[in-house]
């Protein structure tokens, strides 16, 4: 085995462009530092229970897969076990993964550190494999333009700060695209193993992560299968064996292989999901994605036109990215989109989208490319400034003293931890911040961490069972309200139905309330509050 550890040579210009991308992206992250999503604390509660020896549970003694980001739970548990605040830790991890992604796009995979396995027939090469001397060249996907377009994509920064796995997952996809392109150009054992490891990581980060195996099949079918069969078999074997063990563990632990979160969010019918997904996609096009999609279409059409003449120099990367983009868009439409801000379900499509956009403008004059880059930066900034929910996030954070917009829920959770009995059962529609800080047994009235409600018919936020919740006789119920001129109006469907129940009105009394500042006049958000009710003594 020969190991080449020559000095890495980086262009000063590329380092400078990498710093520009990092600086702009970091600025966008800092701008949205007060934003966080309640669902992140579901992950953190699972992680804390795991660290404390209770297993992968939300409520002690109730095995239920109420998360959809197993690898993120593990990362969070490492932070908690080290006594590090989990939100800050996962934010740093997300930021580092994006910064590494910029480096991967701008500098490529370092060619100076290569391993050659000299055993007979171990190195798999095709006739067009680059020579050792060619390893100093940057691969065709390497593009400062792609990195800068990605840095200007404000949804990536927003979801780096929200506390979920979205940005990390998107960067795993970027790494997979790059490594598949490398595997296609020059097959080798090491590249095959890296592709397999990335596929395993994707499948363990998101439930739909296993769908990226389709890209590996696409690469295999597009090459000389007789010469690269082992290259294909290695990642397939690694993924299949690891995923089988992971799935068997999940079935043994939870009794199912479908996460409860998936069951809670689907069920409204295929037609309704596709219609909602199409609306979601068109809405995202209005949030700065349209130009990127058009540029991606340009380079795909250009590649297809030249395919008969041998294709373009970067044709492999075009096909890989086009398939990845189609795969994520199809998934987004199929599941009906999402309710969260900044096109969360399209963030994983940013990597292939930005690479295709950069390839589209690569032949254009430098001045034109600079103008387009400036447009992306300005457009991302303006969309981030104007998106209603993000404006509310920034404003609400300022209203609570520059803290997270989830500060009211944290205050409510701390109140419950101090004033409630450890055995008191709490029911609410938000399963994140409040139960995480309250540390009480919890009934999730929207079903993310409740198997009964998740199994009911209906789509996202359409499932509720008043009789089921009241039959469990929770000691405490936390309802959300909109504050209107006519008084308090229950916010979510579970809040509305429960508040209208005679059983609830008869057996529960208000004990505390917390305002949730929203300033509906400026940000299009309704002023709200949370009201805590306790069950009356029978």
Same domain, 6 and 72: yes
Strands 442-444 and 426-428, bridge-based pairing: parallel
- Of 371, 393, 415, which residue is a domain's last? 393
Residue 130 lies in a domain: no
**Does 22 share its domain with 68?**
yes
SS3 178: helix
Flag whether 400 is in a domain.
no
Write the CATH number for 419.
3.40.190.10
Task: Tell whether 305 is covered by a domain.
Answer: yes
* pLDDT value at residue 500: 92
Q: Alpha-carbon distance 64 to 67, whole Å?
A: 9
Euclidean distance between CA atoms 350 and 38, whole angstroms: 24
| 276 and 377 assigned to the same domain | yes
pLDDT at 4: 35
User: What's residue 116's pLDDT?
Assistant: 36
Residue 156 lies in a domain: yes
The pLDDT, as a whole number, for residue 522 is 56
| Helix (H) / strand (E) containing 11 | none
Domain end among 364, 393, 422? 393
Q: Pick from 527, 518, 395, 434: which is nearest to 34 by CA? A: 395
Q: Can you read off the two tokens belonging to residue 329?
A: 């868009």
- Domain count for the chain, please give it: 2
Q: Tell me, what's the pLDDT at 474?
A: 95
Residue 170 counted as domain residue: yes
137 found inside a domain: no
Residues 372 and 432 in one domain: no
Question: What pLDDT does residue 285 have?
Answer: 80
Q: Can you name the residues that pair with 57 across neighbouring β-strands?
A: 63
Supply angle C-alpha 473, 475, 481, rounded to 5: 100
- Pair 328, 376 in one domain: yes
**Model pLDDT for residues 206-222, shown as the tens digit of each residue:** 999 999 998 888 777 76
Listed residues 324, 358, 393: the one ending a domain: 393
Q: Is 58 helix (H, G, I), strand (E, B) or coil?
A: strand
Low-confidence ranges of the chain (pLDDT < 50): 1-8, 110-141, 309-310
Same domain, 51 and 165: yes
**Locate tokens 């219609």: which residue?**
275
Structural domain boundaries enclosing 512: 406-535
Do residues 427 and 454 make contact, with C-beta atoms less than 8 angstroms apart?
Answer: no
User: Using CB atoms within 10 A of its CB, is residue 107 exposed (0-12), middle (13-18) or buried (19+)?
Assistant: buried
Bridge partners, 479 (sequence order): 531
| Residue 129 included in any domain | no
Residue 2: the pLDDT is 34
Tell me, what's the pLDDT at 526?
67
Q: In terms of domains, do 334 and 467 share one?
A: no
Same domain for 32 and 119, yes or no, is yes
Q: How far apart are CA 275 and CA 173, in angstroms?
A: 26
413 and 320 within one domain: no
Do 235 and 174 share a structural domain?
A: yes
- Residues 157, 255: one domain? yes
**CB hemisphere CA count around 80 (13 angstroms):** 21
Tell whether 138 is covered by a domain.
no
pLDDT tens for 124-150 read: 322 333 333 333 344 444 578 899 999
For residues 385 and 413, membership in a common domain is answered with no
Closest CA to 40 of 438, 434, 392, 426: 434
């Amino acid at each position: 085995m020969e190991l080449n550890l020559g000095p890495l040579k980086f262009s000063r210009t590329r380092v400078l462009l990498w710093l520009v991308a990092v600086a702009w992206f970091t600025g966008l992250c800092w701008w949205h530092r007060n934003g966080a999503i309640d669902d992140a604390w579901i992950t953190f509660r699972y992680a804390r229970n795991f660290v404390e020896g209770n297993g992968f549970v939300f409520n002690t003694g109730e095995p239920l897969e109420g998360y959809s980001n197993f690898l993120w739970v593990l990362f969070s548990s490492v932070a908690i076990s080290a006594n590090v605040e989990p939100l800050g830790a996962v934010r740093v991890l997300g930021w580092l993964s994006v910064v590494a992604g910029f480096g991967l796009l701008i500098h490529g995979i370092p060619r100076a550190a290569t391993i050659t396995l000299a055993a007979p027939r171990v190195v798999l090469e095709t006739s067009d494999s680059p020579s050792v001397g060619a390893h100093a060249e940057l691969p065709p996907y390497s593009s400062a333009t792609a990195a800068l377009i990605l840095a200007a994509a404000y949804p990536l920064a927003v979801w780096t700060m929200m506390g979920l796995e979205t940005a990390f997952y998107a960067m795993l996809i970027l790494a997979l695209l790059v490594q598949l392109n490398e595997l296609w150009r020059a097959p080798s054992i090491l590249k095959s193993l890296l592709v397999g490891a990335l596929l395993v990581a994707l499948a363990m980060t998101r439930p739909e992560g296993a769908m990226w195996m389709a890209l590996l099949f696409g690469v295999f079918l597009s090459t000389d299968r007789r010469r690269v069969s082992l290259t294909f078999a290695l990642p397939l074997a690694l993924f299949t064996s690891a995923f089988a063990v992971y799935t068997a563990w999940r079935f043994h632990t939870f009794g199912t292989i479908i996460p409860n979160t998936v069951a809670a969010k689907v069920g409204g019918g295929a037609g309704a999901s596709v219609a909602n997904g199409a609306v979601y996609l068109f809405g995202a096009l209005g949030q700065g994605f349209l130009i990127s999609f058009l540029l991606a279409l340009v380079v795909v059409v250009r590649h297809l036109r030249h395919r008969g003449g041998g294709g373009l120099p970067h044709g492999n990367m075009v096909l890989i990215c086009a398939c990845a983009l189609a795969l994520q868009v199809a998934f987004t439409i199929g599941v009906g989109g999402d309710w969260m801000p900044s096109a969360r379900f399209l963030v994983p499509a940013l990597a292939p989208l930005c690479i295709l956009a950069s390839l589209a403008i690569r032949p254009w004059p430098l001045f034109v490319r600079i103008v387009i880059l400036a447009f992306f930066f300005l457009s991302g900034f303006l969309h981030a400034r104007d998106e209603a929910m993000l404006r509310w996030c920034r404003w609400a954070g300022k209203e609570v003293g520059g803290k997270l917009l989830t500060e009211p829920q944290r205050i409510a959770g701390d109140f419950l931890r101090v004033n409630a009995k450890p055995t008191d059962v709490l029911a609410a529609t938000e399963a994140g911040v409040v139960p995480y800080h309250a540390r009480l047994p919890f009934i999730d009235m929207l079903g993310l961490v409740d198997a009964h409600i998740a199994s009911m018919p209906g789509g996202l936020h359409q499932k509720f069972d008043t009789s089921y919740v009241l039959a469990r006789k929770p000691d405490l119920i936390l309802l959300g309200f909109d504050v209107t001129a006519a008084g308090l109006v229950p916010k979510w469907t579970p809040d509305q139905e429960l508040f209208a129940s005679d059983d609830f009105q008869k057996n529960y009394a208000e004990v505390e309330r917390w305002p949730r500042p929203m300033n509906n006049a400026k940000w299009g958000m309704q002023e709200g509050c949370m009201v805590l009710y306790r069950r009356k003594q029978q």
